[in-house]
A and B are shown apart, each in its own frame.
Chain A
Amino acid sequence: MDSKILWRVILILVVVALSVWSLYPPGEKIHYGLDLSGGIHLVLQVQTDDAIKAELDDSAQRLVSRAREQGLELSQGESNIENLSFKVNVPADADTTALRELAQNWVPGYGTDPGVGEWTFKLPPNMDRTVRDMAVRSSLETIWNRVDQFGVAEPVIQRQGMESDRILVQLPGVDDPARVKDLISSTAFLEFQEVVAGPAPDRQSLLTAIGGVTPSDSEIVTGDRRGLDGQVLGVDYYLLKKAAIISGQELRSARRSQDEYGQPVVNFATQPYAADKFGQYTGSHIGTRMAIVLDQKVISAPSIESRIPGDGRITGSFTIEEAEDLALKLRAGALPATITYLEERTVGPSLGRDSVVRGVRAAVSGLLIVMIFMLVYYRRSGLNANVALILNIMILLGAMAYFGATLTLPGIAGVILTIGMAVDANVLIFERIREELQVGKTVRAAIDTGFARAFGTILDANLTTMIAALFLFNFGTGPIKGFAVTLSIGILASVFTAVFVSRTLYMIALAGRERVESLSI
């Protein structure tokens, strides 16, 4: 064998060996996309307006309470998210100099617009962007924590673009989508609040009990009334003090546990700095009810039986899963803003598996028919093309494994399409060789011109398909990107196998033969 052929053979063997090496073992190396493995794909939008509202309300509250300490009787007015401002009602005889000083100290940077009886404070310029950005970032972190604790393998949780308020979440292999969705998107804002009145079976009887008017420092909150087995029996109405005793942020840990009757509960421990506050409150309010409120819903409102130092327990006719998830959410923290779904794609694992089986069946049957055809039509040259085709598929899969590309259902279609198109290059070459033989060229000359002439065509034809694949990749999402990737790699691999590998196979076949009379084509 002359050295030229040897080098070609070595190069081919190296490429094939690399492909096999990166592909082995295939079950682990080929990453299935969500549409094949099953899983959830979510695009969430962080309602950053919530964070702005919270920022405005906090500032207003801070200003009002500090003013009160100095004997300045202000009251909180409305917050306006669109104007990024909050209002404070100011009595006519108020000391405006003192108020200006207070504002400078406690809501620094805010634009002040004094009016008659009412002052407007505007969020510092650019601060809304910072507040919104922080809301998205901390949402991202909280979702990470929750997913991490839930134990999903290889999750994708990322912001869609630098300035975006969208978060992409992809969780492969999840078998209980409803639970995971709830886990991700519920705000999990927990507060312990003092019960002023209630529970009552409806709003009217609650209002009657307190004399018809809701006091300004209280609010009406509802909660499900549950039977012993956890079934919802009705709705209870409570009147609660607005100011929380402690909130979820002040918890140090939370764990699912059981009470003495085997009912699932959540045990918690407060941060050291909150322990005193909580202990003091519970110590002085023995016998009264305290409501545990999650996301504006009363979970339960037990009576305080004794002083609770730093550790306590949340009861509430939970199922095991509910208790587990509540504990998890409390550990991971609350979301700073509500979250809405923009897009959801859930693929059950059985559907994904079905797709794989069908895709492989289609690929194998297509491959077999094409190979048989090539063999019948081009005989020994067809065998040459078939070797090239098999190598092509090996290189395609190997390259996908090497680059960590994801195989999706359209991606399988891409592989199948590659099979059809890969033989195209060989067909172009073989037809050309036949023509050259017909005009009376020798076998060697016909092969040489056949490959040379066909190469330009193959390049042009494949580059145009690459252009289409490129734009698909650029604008496509998820599964479609996977398709574009397989198609592109397939095209590159087919040029290598049809042109280089096939040529080498001819060289080997013709090597050492003085005169070649005929070619099986």
Chain B
Amino acid sequence: MRIIGDTNIPFLSYRKIALSLSALAIVGGLAYQFLGPGLNLGIDFVGGTQVTLKFREQPDLGALRESISNLTVGTPLIQSFDEAEKHEILIRVENPEGAEGDFTRPILELLHQDFNSDLGNRFDLNTQGSLALLGRLVSADPDGMGGDAEARESFYGPMADAVLEYRKTNGIFGSLDDLENVEGLSETVRTYLENNTAVGAFSLLGAESVGPAVGADLQKKAMLAIGFSLVGMLVYIWIRFQLPYAVGAVVALFHDVLITLTAIAVTHREINLPTVAALLTLVGYSVNDTVVVFDRVRENLRLRRGEELESVMDLSINQTLSRTFITSGTTLVVVLSLFIFGGDVINTFAFVLLVGILVGTYSSIFVASPVALAMNRVLVSRRERRRLRGRR
């Protein structure tokens, strides 16, 4: 089977249109980022606290906002996380200027006060851990084990673990009736738990808090990683090919990264550590694509001495076109399945790769080669001039 047969498309003759389009996209993107709302930097880089909670039933977002309002600087971001019917809520707040500390605790304490006021002093199955539960069971001793504490601990230990296992699997206890579904409990323990514990309104899915020191650190590291890998690519291609090609490849890289950043900005996605990792992967992928074309150009230049570089480049792009489409296609398919099935945590990561692969494929054809060609002309004509000057 064959999707793309022998083609003979004069890609490079479209270079003016293509480069103008790219330049327009980049300038427009930069304008949007700098003049518009800008890039949405996540707490990894600007610091802040983010708490993800699962509620038993959909909470009133206004009440949530009210609850933490006197704690926060600026407006807290409160939104649904993942599918709406899961009742998962993400709360993101700014930390007080320049302060380091434990900012997740006060948020959780406030929410506990406001949403779990009906619990009284009963043990909350949705926030406490298995060791705490074990402590309760050991001292209450509903099964009348007697004996020393250690013997009771080994008797009640598996039951406490089983209760927590249910929460780990399901995220939250919807009601005390869920205890019926916990396996391995003795009847007396089940009854004891039903009478002496309670289910709080929410459980903690995750919490992240980054202070200014670590935020600045991570920002620096991300910049360095991107900077160094761009330089690394430049040097590698310079060594393996020639300077014009290295410039072509790196210009294509900047092109890909800038346009992908614009896509992130336009969709209001957050830039966090995984986003940066995805950007770097995109850098690797984009160069990969470009190198395949350049490799072919180098080979064809050897085979067809005397032919114009432009037509050799066109030939090489056409020869590798089928491969370019298939590889981009297969990679796109897996990234698409990551984008669809990967869940909220990995969604932006997949989005960056998705955009990056499309843009990267385009740029390896319409940006890298034209720029390399132009650079080559500049260098060649300079060499010519020097030679002419020498003759005179």
Residues of A within 8 A of B (CB): 35, 38, 43, 45, 150-151, 174-179, 181, 185, 229-231, 258, 262, 264, 320-321, 324, 340-351, 353-355, 358-359, 361-363, 365-367, 369-370, 373-374, 376-379, 409-410, 412-413, 416-417, 419-421, 423-424, 427-428, 431, 435, 453, 456-457, 460-472, 474-477, 479-480, 483-484, 487
Contacts and interface: CB of A to CB of B under 8 A. Distances in A.
Given A369-B333, A423-B327, A471-B228, A176 B139 contact: no
B219 to A, nearest CB: 11
Contacts of B135: 320-321, 324
B128 A176 contact: yes
Interface of B: 1, 3, 52, 54, 100-105, 108, 121, 127-132, 135-136, 139, 164, 167-172, 203-211, 213-214, 218, 221-222, 224-225, 228-229, 232-233, 236-237, 240, 273-274, 276-277, 280-281, 283-285, 287-289, 291-292, 295-296, 299, 319-320, 322-323, 326-327, 329-338, 340-343, 345-346, 349-350, 353
Nearest to B228: A471
Contacts of A431: 320, 322-323, 326
A353 B168 contact: yes
Contact of B274 (A351, A353, A479): A479
Nearest to B3: A377
A377 B320 CA distance: 16
Given A362-B342, A410-B346, A460-B240, A343 B170 contact: no
A-B pairs with lowest CB-CB distance, top 9 = A176-B129, A366-B334, A420-B331, A468-B284, A465-B284, A475-B225, A362-B341, A366-B337, A349-B168
A43 B208 CA distance: 12
A377 B343 CA distance: 31
A320 B330 CA distance: 57
Contacts of B139: 258, 262, 264, 320
A175 B168 contact: yes
Nearest to A321: B132
Contact of A342 (B100, B105, B205, B225): B100
Given A351-B345, A358-B341, A410-B274, 5 more contacts: A346-B207, A348-B204, A421-B331, A427-B326, A471-B225
A47 to B, nearest CB: 10
Given A264-B139, A467-B233, A476-B273, A178 B108 contact: yes
Contacts of A177: 204, 207
Contacts of A421: 285, 288, 327, 331
Contacts of B172: 350
A329 to B, nearest CB: 15
A476 to B, nearest CB: 7
A181 B330 contact: no
21 contacts: A179-B131, A321-B135, A341-B211, A342-B100, A351-B205, A355-B343, A362-B342, A366-B333, A370-B333, A373-B330, A377-B326, A378-B1, A420-B333, A421-B285, A457-B295, A463-B236, A464-B288, A472-B280, A480-B274, A483-B274, A487-B284
B207 A409 contact: no
A453 B221 CA distance: 38
A344 B104 contact: yes
Contacts of B327: 420-421, 423-424, 427-428
Contacts of A476: 221, 225, 273, 277
A345 B341 contact: no
A343 B334 contact: no
Given A346-B207, A465-B285, A376 B330 contact: no
B341 A469 contact: no
Contacts of A413: 338, 342, 346, 349-350
Contacts of B273: 476-477, 479-480
Given A43-B214, A421-B285, A464-B287, A175 B129 contact: yes
Contacts of B343: 354-355, 358
A377 B170 CA distance: 43
A55 B33 CA distance: 52
Given A361-B341, A467-B236, A461 B291 contact: yes
A374 B3 CA distance: 12
Q: Which of B273, B280, B296, B333 has the most CB of A within 10 A?
A: B280
B12 to A, nearest CB: 21
Contact of B1 (A359, A376, A410, A419): A376
A344 B277 contact: no
Contacts of A320: 132, 135-136, 139
B284 to A, nearest CB: 4
A421 B213 CA distance: 37
B41 to A, nearest CB: 16
A34 to B, nearest CB: 10
A413 B322 CA distance: 26
A415 B177 CA distance: 40
Contacts of B129: 174-176, 179
Contacts of B54: 350
B168 A350 contact: yes
A97 B221 CA distance: 57
